[in-house]
Chains A and B, each alone.
Chain A
Amino acid sequence: MQRLRRTMMFVPGNNPGMMADAHIYGPDSIMLDLEDSVSMAEKDAARLLVHNALKTIDYGKTEMVVRINPLSTPYGKKDVEAVVKAGVHVIRMPKTETAEEVKELEEEIIKVETELGCVGRTQIMAAIESTLGALNAYSIATASKRMMGIALGAEDYCANLKAQRTTGDSPNFGMELQFARQCIVTAARAAGIDALDTVFSNLNDMDTFRREVEMIKAMGFDGKSIINNGKMVDRPVVIRAQRTIDLAIASGILTKEDLA
């Protein structure tokens, strides 16, 4: 189905207060997240919460997307079962690197859909969050008829690239993501599906947000992911911060005492 996907709002999957009325802000799509915003200990509870919310809450015409945990984790398959049974429109697969991963997800979806008697209902969107994923963008985009879009996950991608995210005041603004963005938008267009840019999470920097939106629009993207407040802690940011600290300690810039 053709539809506008200018804005995709990330909502943490274990926060019922935020899930109850995310649609009032008028995003084209809402992405309930079971992955990075949910701690290991709460994966089961968040899955049940998202399942019940999808079944019950009237989100109107908003497209409902759920970001599941990778199938390689103990959570991924249960996530698929829970959200397909709740009638989700789109499953977003994180950290996609190959077409095979998409096909594996499709098989899991078919299993559940067959049980429900609704084969073909659920669409797939793949998030590309690594250099390998970027280079495989076209084969990922064409891995399944269910593919409706591919998206960039910039934090993990940059970590993998060993580059730093730039802000709007930098002369090199956006340079670190230039190649990945062009890979994704070109692959999406060639495959006839949508291209979505990475989430913007610093709500205190509206200037960078505006520049970034103008830039990705000029590049050909259909839309962008957003969050509705700063509460969502992105795991890659924490991992990158930890890595930076480890490197700093290893190279003698910091000592462990500095952190105490």
Chain B
Amino acid sequence: MEIKTAMAGTLESGDIFIQIAPNDNAGLHIDLDSTVAYQFGDQIKKVITETLQGLGIDQAEVKATDKGALDCTIRARVTAAAVRATGKDVWAD
């Protein structure tokens, strides 16, 4: 899917800041910086990957700065960034 650079989220505690950009190489590349990287790094990457794939995005460069966000927040922020990157909303117009 065609995407442009977009971002969503904040750097406040309990939130995650997501930046999405086009990736020249195949696949999703996720660069994660998290305050809970040891305990939840893999889980966060998994949620990001699943959310993007669910929206039909399987090639992108993702930079995620996590401040201890819950999975539901990660899904929301990734979706918001994806919607902004593709211009395709998940809700009816």
Contact = CB atoms under 8 A, between A and B. Distances in A.
- Chains A and B directly touch (beta carbon < 8 Å): yes
Interface of A: 14-18, 20, 44-45, 47-49, 51-53, 55-57, 77-78, 81-82
Given A16-B15, A17-B14, A82-B91, A57 B80 contact: no
Contact of A20 (B9, B10, B14, B93): B14
Contact of B69 (A16, A55, A57): A16
B32 to A, nearest CB: 17
Interface of B is mostly: loop
Interface of A is mostly: helix
B73 to A, nearest CB: 4
Contacts of B90: 48
A79 B72 CA distance: 18
Contact of A49 (B13, B77, B84): B77
Nearest to A111: B92
Contact count band on B: 20 to 34
A17 B12 contact: yes
Contacts of B92: 77-78, 81
A45 B12 contact: no
Contacts of B73: 16, 20, 49, 52-53
B21 interface: no
Contacts of A47: 91
B62 interface: no
A79 B73 CA distance: 17
A52 B83 contact: no
B12 A48 contact: no
B72 A56 contact: yes
A46 to B, nearest CB: 9
